[in-house]
Amino acid sequence: MKEVNKSIPKIDGIGLAQGKPAYTDDIAPQNSLIIKVLRSPHAFAKIKDINTVEAEKLPGVECVLTYKNVPRNIVTRAGQGYPEPSPHDKFILDEYVRYIGDEVAAVAAADEKIAEKAMKLIKVEYEILEPILDFEKAAGNQSIIHLEPEAHEMFPIGFNPSKNIAAEYHMHVGDVDEVLSKCEHVIRSTYYTQAQAHVAMETHTAAAYIDLHGRVNIISSTQTPFHVRRIVAEALALPIEKIRVVKPRIGGGYGGKQGLHGEFLVSLVALRTGKPAKLIYTRNEVFEASYCRHEMRFNIAIGADKEGNIRAIDMDLLSNTGAYGEHALTVFMVSGSKTLPLYNKIDAVRFGGKTVYTNLTPAGAYRGYGAIQGNFALESAIDELADKLGMNPVDLRIKNMIGQGETSPIFKIMGEGTEGTDMTIESCKLDYCVKRGMELSGWKEKFPRKEVSKGKVRGIGSAIAMQGSGIPYIDMGSAIIKLNDQGFFNLLVGATDIGTGSDTVLAQIAAEALGVPTSKIVVYSSDTDLTPFDCGAYASSTTYISGNAVRKTGLRMKEMIEEQGARRLDALKYDVVFDGEYIKTKDGTKSISLKDLSTELYYSNGQKQLVACESYYGKVSPPPFMGAFAEVEVDFETGKVDLLDYTAVVDCGTTLNPNLARIQVEGGLLQGIGMAMFEQAEYNEKGKLINNNLMKYKIPTRKDVKNFTVEFVETYEPSGPYGAKSVGEIGIDTPPAAIANAIYNATGVRIRDLPITAEKVLMGLKKK
């Protein structure tokens, strides 16, 4: 490996550090109309009357949109493959508003001040309806959130809006109740995970203009440009060939930008006025009116024999999708499909439950996507079982966890909305991850607790996790490589770099396949007109899916270069080899440089443009694995918890760019720590988000973790590009459980609802 498995700096790093124009707002047309959105002050209401006359009269106002003058085509905003597994339950604008922050009207004006003034001139009369703010009271509630007859699903997902159910699913292997009844030790517990905000530094931003051909050109900070094109076409009833979507640099996405947010409105305004338009969410709007993580409740039962062999797992789930059903089914499914296979030596397993509508901010995709919620519940329950068995929790995990060459029935039964794909784990060093993590964290010396001073105790906890690498038979990526004169290449990919460095990694893969330096690869990505199709940046798919497509394309281009070199050298194709600089006959008697060959091809000798294009879709989803250990210090007088050390050992196959992989894991860990200890969307009794800004919504910084230790174990995944698996999401999964387990080991207090605050710990200590 000459170009992969190397920490090459991000190819866009210098330009971004220098502040070059790169983001959506930087490159949106400078004369764009400014769009502002009037949002609902009520959690649930019907618009009885809306009067926009005075707003439209205001000088500088170009356009006012309401449900009365926009197309009424129902869609899902979830940027997912087609047919979409999320229910179609969203109009561009509707006469019903279903949460505080829902869109009522949009104003496009010459500047922001005029737009804001115009919004105040819009008169709206509401019929207030009874909202549902508690997701445990949603199913079958007399208040029905989605009454529209157009709402429908494309998957058989148990969609039942008359009962406020966005999705429902049930499966089992074996007779769980019978097996549990025969287990010597059974634990039954309930766990709650909270809604969490993404807090990407760049807010949601979209712009649109009409080009000379009359086509809508959308510039958007999106993770899924090809899905945006399809969904906007559907919502606006436009031919898809009339839409182009370009994704510039993105200042963080984390799943929040997988869905559509402003693209409908900027497109409509551009079409109505003929002028460019842009919509930039305020920070308050991002909190209140984009996406959050799905709030969940897990009821879990786990049974084992007296030797610690886990025999049955029963997981019942209730998930809160908020006002709309984006990812209602798929996040629900992943909470089981990416956790339950960890313990594959069982006799029976059951998983099922519902995803319900409420009148709160819609939930959507968020890094970890169900797996982090399920991992908190399952890995906390494993520790509770170990405690009941009187067994070291790490020993319990090692005894029961999945290993290389093994499988799980869950793989075949559960996918993301459909049946899964049967697979055998071909690369897995989870056992090494756990044992190495024990060494690095000092587990044997620190478990379970150690008193360090009067009133302060330290504890250490553990958790394991797995993820996936794309969605089998659904996610597809493709690439084009073009040889230019003088011997450099363009790599065109639909894959979406959202700050992860995927443009850099894909350039490295292309260079490795071709045998040239990465500096010879010039990348263009995420333009639906110019780059080939790609599903987008989600489901930990880019390195594995798009990377495999790039590798295939690079190898094909290398063959084409050798074919043309053989012709030029008057040799047979199989008698020449390209070494990255020269095409040579194998006997070494003839050669021509790539620089000379490419220049001849395009200027003087048998002119022919060389372009290669290949695609890839996964037939399996090889999981990355992690063993994690958290050390905390708890103050018994205040309940305050300090995270002293977090150790993570990761198996993600070949680390194609070790520095970028490390940054991905550390960033994921910090977000997981935020969910564990700091973050929660808090609503008042009317459904208003009260911590809707960065002064009130607390996220951790690097200073909140005293020490990170991240180490990679090198494995080789046969189906991955140069042995790679995914790494983007695995880091976020373990912190909630590992930290909860560490706090229990330190204090004897088991916190089963996130986040774990000083107040909860102190109250637990007082009860104890």
Sequence-distant (≥ 6) Cβ neighbours of residue 75 within 8 angstroms: 88, 90, 91, 231, 234, 235
Fold of 27-129+204-280: Aldehyde Oxidoreductase; domain 3 (3.90.1170)
Give the chain's residues under pLDDT 70.
Answer: none
pLDDT at 768: 83
Q: Judge contact between 361 and 195, C-beta under 8 A.
A: yes
User: How much of the chain is helix, strand and coil, in % rounded to 5?
Assistant: 30, 25, 45
Q: Please, are residues 290 and 328 in contact by the beta-carbon 8 Å criterion?
A: no
Contact 86, 326 (CB under 8 A): yes
pLDDT given for residue 417 in this prediction? 80
Main-chain dihedrals φ then ψ at residue 271, nearest 5 degrees: -70, -40
Q: Quick one: 598 exposed, middle or buried, by C-beta within 10 A (0-12, 13-18, 19+)? A: buried
295-471+620-767 and 476-617 share one fold: yes
- Quote the CA–CA distance of 310 and 303 in Å, as a whole number: 6
Q: Do residues 145 and 98 touch, judged by C-beta distance below 8 A?
A: yes
Which letter does DSSP use for residue 525 in this model? E
Q: Are 736 and 674 in contact (CB under 8 A)?
A: no
The two beta strands, 103-109 and 61-65, are: antiparallel
**Is residue 751 a contact partner of residue 738, using CB atoms and an 8 Å limit?**
no
Burial-class residue 424 by CB neighbours within 10 Å (0-12, 13-18, 19+).
exposed
- pTM comes to 0.96
- Which pLDDT does position 416 carry in this prediction? 86
The full DSSP string for 700-750 is: --GGGBS-EEEEE-----TTSGGGB---TTGGGSSHHHHHHHHHHHHHS--
Closest C-alpha among 727, 715, 753 to residue 469: 727
Query: What is the distance of C-alpha 261 from the center of its chain?
Result: 16
Three-state DSSP class for residue 209 = strand
For residues 595 and 489, what is the distance between their CA atoms, to the nearest angstrom?
11
Strands 348-357 and 310-322: parallel
List alpha helices for 457-546, DSSP H: 502-514
Q: What is the spatial distance between Cα 656 and Cα 503, in angstroms, rounded to a whole number? A: 12
What 3-state class would DSSP assign to 212? coil
Instruction: Report the relative pairing of strands 708-712 and 489-493 from DSSP bridges.
Output: unpaired
Confidence (pLDDT) at 155: 86
pLDDT for the residue 618: 93
Domain boundaries, the chain: 27-129+204-280, 295-471+620-767, 476-617
Q: Tell me: the pLDDT tens digits for 331-388?
A: 999 999 999 999 999 999 999 999 999 999 999 999 999 999 999 999 999 999 999 9
> What pLDDT does 714 receive?
87
Residue 757: strand, helix, or coil: coil
What's the gap between Cα 692 and its chain centre?
Answer: 22
Residues pairing with 356 in the sheet: 165, 320
Domain 476-617 has CATH 3.30.365.10: yes
Local structure of 689: helix, strand or coil? strand
For 295-471+620-767, CATH gives 3.30.365.10
- Decide the pairing of beta strands 216-220 and 243-246: parallel
Report the number of secondary-structure helices (H) and strands (E) in the chain: 20, 27
Strands 205-210 and 103-109: unpaired
| pLDDT per residue as tens digits for the range 483-514 | 999 999 999 999 999 999 999 999 999 999 99
